[in-house]
C-alpha cells in the first residue's frame, strides 16, 4: 500500500482503494466472516478519516470481502478470553472491562468512538450488504447514510437474545419503534428484501446485481461536488441529532453494559457454554429455542398479499 497516506497506515483487516471519486473500504477478514476485531475497528476509523480528508474522494462505499458483509463482533475477544495481541504495557495499571460497570461503559465508549465518526464525516457513505449482516455488522451498516442489500442478505441482532443490546443503536431512526422492538426482543433476522420493505435498508437487489447497483449509486453520488454533498449530509444528520440520535448512543452503551451484568439463565448459560463447549456450540444452544429465527412478512408492500 502507498506509504504517503495521512491517516491510514495499516490495512491488515481492511482493503482501501480510490477510483472515480469513490473510496472503497472493504472489510477483509473473509475467513472470519469479517467479524469486527479491535484492529479492524481502528483501521476502519482511520480509513474513514483518510477518505473524508482526500480531495479525490467525494463518496465512500463500504462492503465486505467474501460471502458476508459482517457477522458481528469477534466474540472470542469478549467471551473466549482472547485478544488481537498481547498489550505492550502493564495491563494491571489500566481498566479491565470485566471489573466494574463503569469500566465496561468506558471500554464500550472508546469502541463506539471508532464507528460513530461515520455520522460526523462530511462525505456520504453507502453500505453494500450481502450475506450475513449481524450484530456489530448492523452497527456498521446502520451508521451509513444509505444501505443497499442483496435480496437474500441476512440482517439482525441475534446477540440480543443473551449477550446484550446494540451498543450503537440506530434501528429506531431507520425502521421506527415497533420494528426496532420486534427485532431486538427476539433477535430474529430479516432478509434483505424484507428489510427494504420495512425501510431498514433503502432497497434490495438480486445477489447477482447488488455489486453493480451499489457501484452505480456511489458513482452517481460522487458526481456531485464534495462541498454540496457535505451540506446535504450535515443538514440531515443535524436533524437526526435534534431527534436525539447522538445522545441516545451514549445511553445505548450504558444499557449494553448493564445488560452484560445480567445473571439471568440465558446469559449465564451462554457464558458457561463458551467456557465448556466453545463458542460455536454456545451460539447454537443460544439460538436453538428460536428455530430458524427468520421473519417472513405477511403484509407485502404491494397489494397486501400474504
- Please write the tens of the pLDDT for every residue from 237-258: 999 999 999 999 999 999 999 9
Share of the chain above pLDDT 90, in %: 86
Evaluate whether residue 230 is within a structural domain: yes
The 3-state DSSP class for residue 16 equals: strand
pLDDT band at 78 (very low <50, low <70, confident <90, very high): low
Structural domains in the chain (count): 1
pLDDT band at 11 (very low <50, low <70, confident <90, very high): very high
Per-residue pLDDT at 46 exceeds 70: yes
pLDDT band at 302 (very low <50, low <70, confident <90, very high): low
Strand pairing report for 22-27 and 14-19:
antiparallel
476485531: which residue's cell?
Answer: 37
Share of the chain above pLDDT 70, in %: 92
Evaluate whether residue 5 is within a structural domain: no
pLDDT digit string, tens, across residues 108-124: 999 999 999 999 999 99
Contact 147, 201 (CB under 8 A): yes
Evaluate whether residue 9 is within a structural domain: no
Per-residue pLDDT at 79 exceeds 60: no
CATH number of domain containing 131: 3.90.226.10
Please work out, in degrees rounded to the nearest 5, the angle formed at the alpha carbon of residue 178 by the alpha carbons of 259 and 140: 60
Which residues, listed in sequence order, are joined to residue 24 by a DSSP beta bridge? Answer: 17, 61
Evaluate whether residue 301 is within a structural domain: no
Mean per-residue pLDDT of the chain: 92
What residues contact residue 296 under an 8 Å CB cut-off, 6+ apart? Answer: 194
What is the DSSP code string of 162-174?
TT---SS--HHHH
- pLDDT for residue 301: 52
Query: How far apart are the C-alpha atoms of 253 and 244, rounded to whole Å?
Result: 14
How confident is the model over 133-137, as a mean pLDDT?
97
Indicate if the alpha-carbon torsion angle 254, 256, 260, 262 is positive or negative.
positive
Joined together, the cell numbers standing for residue 299 give 403484509
Who wins on pLDDT, 305 or 124? Answer: 124
Q: Which domain holds residue 207?
A: 14-85+94-290
- pLDDT for residue 305: 46
Per-residue pLDDT at 224 exceeds 60: yes
Query: How far apart are the C-alpha atoms of 8 and 123, rounded to whole Å?
Result: 17
- pLDDT for residue 77: 62
- pLDDT for residue 82: 46
- pLDDT for residue 304: 47
Per-residue pLDDT at 223 exceeds 50: yes
Q: Note the helical H segments in 31-74.
A: 38-53
Per-residue pLDDT at 165 exceeds 50: yes
Evaluate whether residue 41 is within a structural domain: yes
Evaluate whether residue 305 is within a structural domain: no
- pLDDT for residue 298: 82
Per-residue pLDDT at 39 exceeds 80: yes
Per-residue pLDDT at 3 exceeds 80: no
Radius of gyration of the chain (CA): 19
Per-residue pLDDT at 80 exceeds 50: no
- pLDDT for residue 286: 96
Who wins on pLDDT, 246 or 303? Answer: 246
- pLDDT for residue 120: 96
Indicate if the alpha-carbon torsion angle 72, 159, 211, 50 is positive or negative.
negative
Evaluate whether residue 71 is within a structural domain: yes
The phi, psi pair for 20, rounded to 5°, reads 55, 40
Evaluate whether residue 300 is within a structural domain: no
- pLDDT for residue 234: 97
Query: How far apart are the C-alpha atoms of 74 and 22, rounded to whole Å?
Result: 28
Per-residue pLDDT at 90 exceeds 50: yes
Amino acid at each position: 500500500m502507498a506509504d504517503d497516506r495521512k491517516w491510514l497506515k495499516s490495512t491488515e483487516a481492511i482493503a482501501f482503494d480510490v477510483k472515480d471519486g469513490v473510496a472503497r473500504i472493504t472489510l477483509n477478514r473473509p475467513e472470519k466472516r469479517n467479524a469486527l476485531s479491535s484492529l479492524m475497528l481502528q483501521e476502519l476509523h482511520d480509513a474513514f478519516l483518510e477518505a473524508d480528508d482526500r480531495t479525490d474522494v467525494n463518496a465512500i462505499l463500504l462492503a465486505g470481502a467474501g460471502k458476508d458483509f459482517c457477522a458481528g463482533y469477534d466474540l472470542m475477544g469478549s467471551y473466549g478470553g482472547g485478544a488481537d495481541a498481547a498489550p505492550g504495557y502493564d495491563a494491571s495499571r489500566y481498566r479491565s472491562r470485566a471489573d466494574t460497570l463503569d469500566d465496561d461503559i468506558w471500554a464500550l465508549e472508546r469502541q463506539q468512538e471508532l464507528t460513530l465518526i461515520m455520522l460526523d464525516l462530511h462525505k456520504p457513505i453507502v453500505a453494500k450488504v450481502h450475506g450475513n449482516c449481524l450484530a456489530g455488522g448492523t452497527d456498521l451498516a446502520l451508521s451509513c447514510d444509505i444501505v443497499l442489500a442483496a435480496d437474500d442478505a441476512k440482517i439482525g441482532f441475534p446477540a440480543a437474545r443473551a449477550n446484550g443490546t446494540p451498543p450503537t443503536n440506530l434501528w429506531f431512526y431507520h425502521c421506527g419503534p415497533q420494528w426496532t422492538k420486534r427485532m431486538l426482543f427476539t433477535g430474529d433476522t430479516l432478509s434483505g428484501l424484507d428489510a427494504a420493505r420495512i425501510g431498514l435498508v433503502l432497497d434490495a437487489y438480486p445477489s447477482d446485481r447488488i455489486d453493480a447497483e451499489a457501484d452505480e449509486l456511489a458513482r452517481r453520488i460522487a458526481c456531485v461536488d464534495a462541498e454540496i454533498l457535505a451540506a446535504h449530509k450535515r443538514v440531515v444528520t443535524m436533524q437526526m441529532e435534534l431527534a436525539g440520535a447522538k445522545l441516545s448512543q451514549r445511553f445505548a452503551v450504558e444499557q449494553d453494559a448493564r445488560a452484560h451484568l445480567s445473571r439471568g439463565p440465558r446469559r449465564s448459560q451462554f457464558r458457561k457454554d463458551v467456557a465448556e463447549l466453545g463458542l460455536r456450540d454456545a451460539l447454537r444452544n443460544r439460538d436453538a429455542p428460536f428455530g430458524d429465527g427468520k421473519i417472513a412478512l405477511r403484509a407485502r408492500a404491494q397489494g397486501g398479499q400474504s
